Each structure stands twice: as structure tokens, then as C-alpha cells.
Amino acid sequence: MSVIYVDNNATTQVAPEVIEEMLPYFNEFYGNPSSMHSFGGQVGRKLIQARADVAALIGAAPEEIIFTSCGTESDSTAIRAAIESYPDKKHIITSRVEHPAVKNLFEYLSKNGYRVTFVPVDRQGRLDLDYLYKNLSDDTAIVSIMWANNESGVIFPVEEISRTVREHGVVFHTDAVQAIGKIPIDLKNIGIDMLSLSGHKFHGPKGIGALYVRKGTKFFPFLIGGHQESGRRGGTENVASIIGLGKVSQLAAAHLKKDITRVKELRDKLENELLKRVPSALINGDSKNRLPNTSSIAFEYVEGESILLMMDEFGICASSGSACTSGSLEPSHVLRAMGVPFTAAHGSIRFSLSIYNTTEEIDFIIEKLPPIIERLREMSPFWKEQKSTS
């Protein structure tokens, strides 16, 4: 059975061009880029090119890029660097809908001497900017707000936020893991101090990420060891994956505008047809300000896990807005923060598309999913109760 993969916010297929670029660095060019000999030196030059390619994708300078193992390491490095740079400041700010890479670290810090402000969102997943700004103070060490939400796809106004935060002399970090390769980003004239990205979210390999650190930003390394990354991140470089990240950055920069248009057309077709064919279905998130590939649809009165299992029988891979915790199902922290009703949050499915999805695949989902929802609702006491009272 062929797979129809619409779970690209979880991870993506590695682009064939990226694999081809990486392969020689596993066996043919295996030298250590830090070595003095020419065999290692040729690898070192390839890393220089990769750093330049990643920088070009986001409008940065090559020396502002630090290679890491993943988005989570980039997030932790940025946040810990800020609090170490300003040890007397004990207040930090983030949103209620951050990825666990940021959310869980802030919760940990809240138990270890830091006062945390979690900025709320509205029903459409939009950030309460007034709440954020009024909580800025001389005691704030860092504000960390994601560029785009991994579940709803809602894009936050990080450019505006960065300007205001900078006016208060506070470090601003953004987790841009879901935004890179999906929307244009140019940091040249934006007051962002640090930005995290991850290769496997836009057709690069797993196990490689990067952290942008703006020139002049105070910085303390998270991994202390050798001289790698100009002393900012110790450890022998993950050569093949860094080269892969450079290549996928080239591809994204060259094809971003065309890819955005095509993927958004597929996303919109999927949404419009499902909303037309399935009653009591609604979009989670700001429909006007979302990532072009992401659609979180709530199918009321059914369980998301049941939908996923039945779609899986047809080879359709998506994800749910619920998480299995200690044997009981509860909606994700993102949907709870958005105030999505209980009957909708439990039946929320996230479809996240990529450049490799086709019109035929979208048509297949549109054909198979409505009967699945109808079948599950026939077994749902909530749906029966709703019908009897309507």
C-alpha cells in the first residue's frame, strides 16, 4: 500500500538532491574539517559553503550561524545563553503555545528561580500582544516567541514583537523551526537576536539544526569543549548533515515562492472540500495568517485517534490534536490555550503538506475521509446527543 504523507510538520522526506550531496562525505571525503592536512581541509571548505547557504536563506551573515544537532538544542542554547548573559534578571517571557522544546524549558526554569510570563492566545491562536508588552520590565532577560505554530500553523508577528522587545533592551529569540522553508524570512532589518531552525522540517536530514546569533548579541556556549563553531559549540562537526542542511537551504531559497503557491493551493483544496462535505467541521487557527502548508481541522464529536487509525488503513499519515497521557486522552496544550471546545479539540486533525504531495493524493483524502467521519459519528454518543437536541 502506498503512503500518502501529510504529516510534514512532524518531519519531512529528505530531498533526493540533499541525499546525493551528503553521500560522498560518509565514505569518500571522511576527513575531519579541523585537521591541518588538505584531505580534511577540503571538507572544511565545504562546511564554509554550507554555512553561507544557510545564512543566505534567512538573510544573515555566515559568521552569525552556529550549527547544532537539532531545533531543541538551538532553543536551549539561545535561552540559556540569555539567562547566563544577564544573571541578575529573573523574569522570562514566552507564549502558551510554544513547542515543548521551549515550553518545557521555561517550566523547568520556573521551578528554579525564574518568574515566567506565559502570553495567552485568542480563539484563533493569535498572540495577545498587549499582554506581552505590558509584562516587559527591566528584570526581563529574554522573550522567546515562536515564528509559526507547529499545530495551528498560525504565524506570529515576530518582526513587530522584536522591535518592541528591543526598545526595552531585552533579548528576543524566536523558534522558527516551522517557518523556515515555508515562508520568506530576511533578518537583515529585523531586531531578532537569536533564531532556531532544524533541517528535517524542510527536507533536510534529521540530527542537524542551526542557531542564528545576531552580531553583538551576548552569548555563552551550551556545549563547552573544543574550538568548533568558533568556540560557540564544542564537538566534532556532523559533516554530512551540515552539508545536507546547506544544500536544502539552497533549494529552499531557489524555489520558495513557487513552492509556497503550489502547496497552498493543495492545502486550500483539501480544506474547502472537507468543510463542504463534512458537517460540524471547523478550522483551528487564523485562516488568513497561517503557514501555507498547514491545516488543523476539528471534526466535532469524534476522537482524533480513531480518525488517524482509520485513515492509516488507507495509507494516509496525519497527526492528531490530542495526546495520550497516562492512558487518558486530552487535547494538546495548543488547542487548550486557544480555547477550542472539548467536542472539537478531541477530533482535531493536523494535515501538513509538502512539495512532494500531489493533487491525486489530496483527492484521495477528500474521497476517503468524509465516510470515516460519518462512520465514527454513528458510534459517538456525543454526536447522537447533538443530533437529538438540534
Residues with catalytic roles: 324
Contacts with 167 (C-beta within 8 Å, 6 or more apart), sequence order: none
Task: Tell me how far apart the alpha carbons of residues 258 and 253 are, in angstroms, rounded to a whole number.
Answer: 10
Q: What are phi and psi of 142, to 5 degrees?
A: -155, 145
What is the C-alpha radius of gyration for the chain, rounded to an integer number of angstroms? 22
Grid coordinates standing for 130? 498587549
CB 233 within 8 A of CB 66: yes
- Give the Cβ contact number of residue 310 at 10 Å: 17
Q: What are phi and psi of 210, to 5 degrees?
A: -150, 155
Task: Measure CA of the first residue to CA of the last residue in the chain; give whole Å.
Answer: 41
Of 71, 248, 258, residue with least CA distance to 148: 71
Q: What are phi and psi of 360, to 5 degrees?
A: -65, -40
Task: Tell me how far apart the alpha carbons of residues 312 and 156 are, in angstroms, rounded to a whole number.
Answer: 32
Grid coordinates standing for 141? 532577560
- Give the Cβ contact number of residue 19 at 10 Å: 14
CB 322 within 8 A of CB 332: yes
